[in-house]
Amino acid sequence: MAAFLIGDVQGCDAALQRLLEKIDFSPSRDTLYLLGDLVNRGPQSAKVLRRVMGYGDAAKSLLGNHDLSLLALAHGQRPPHRNDTMDEVLTAPDRAAMIDWLRRQRMAIHAHGLLMVHGGVLPQWDVAQTLALAAEVEAALRGAGLVEFLAQMYGNQPARWNDELKGAQRLRVIVNALTRLRFCTPEGEMSLHASGGPKDAPPGTLPWFDVPGRKTAGATIAFGHWSTLGFLQRPDIIALDTGCVWGGCLSALRLGESNAAHELIQVKCEQAQKPGE
């Protein structure tokens, strides 16, 4: 039995198939943890969803910003963008099944000694609070108020967490941190527009995982979302978005008994777009 983390697939099903063949994945034996952004930008979002759905409990997926974008689009709560590649899902005969499956996926997972998120974790949150806040968003996605939640999900404010936040503002901060965060100030104020590497941090900010004194410093956090960061493994973080959809690699990490024992496996992705498309 093996467990694998997989970075952002973004509709690149051909690369995902080659990666699964390379790691000799068997759904009867192994477990996949997909770190979000299964869909969009690549050409085969529906195939990715059907493949992962077909693995049942052997595949556990986080929701990334592109996955939430698909949910919002499917429920009429955002207009299509010119670079979207999700029509294959939206026009599919099994659209309803795919959308329903997607809304039931996780915002954070704690397993194998790792806290897994798509984007990042604010410095004020420890592991337990991160999981509890993720569960609040999961409940909104699965509940009767889904459309109302999606209608109020977008926006960059509030930019900073406060335990007293309620309603849509509270959920928006949680979503932004878990699916969009790259940079923040030492006080935890998010800068959500910057998308370059760590050296491109906006003035007064730094990568969320380098904030001094963050409450998850004693945990190891695995995440995707940051293709310009690429693969990065430290005792406290594992970054696994290696830019498949931008012509980079799709990456899997076979989890070992310790951080040092993890094994990186990659396949080249033929899909290539310019960053930002």
Question: What is the mean pLDDT for each group of 10 consecutive residues in the chain (277 residues)?
Answer: 97 97 98 98 97 98 98 97 95 98 98 98 98 98 98 97 98 98 98 91 97 96 97 97 96 92 94 51
Cα–Cα nearest to 3, from 139, 112, 150: 112
Angle between helical axes of 65-74 and 95-103 (0-180°, round to 10): 130
pLDDT of residue 276: 45
Q: What is the pLDDT of residue 259?
A: 83
Helix/strand/coil for 219: coil
Contact in structure between 121 and 130 (CB atoms under 8 Å): yes
Provide the CA 124 distance to its chain's centre, in angstroms.
20
Q: Which domains does the chain have, with CATH numbers?
A: 3-268 (3.60.21.10)
Mark residue 49 as left, alpha or beta (left: phi above 0; alpha: psi -120 to 50; beta: remaining). Answer: alpha
Helices within 55-207 (DSSP H only): 65-74, 87-90, 95-103, 127-142, 146-151, 167-180
Structure tokens at 204: 């007064």
The DSSP code for 106 is B
Give residue 109's pLDDT.
98
Please, are residues 51 and 16 in contact by the beta-carbon 8 Å criterion?
A: yes
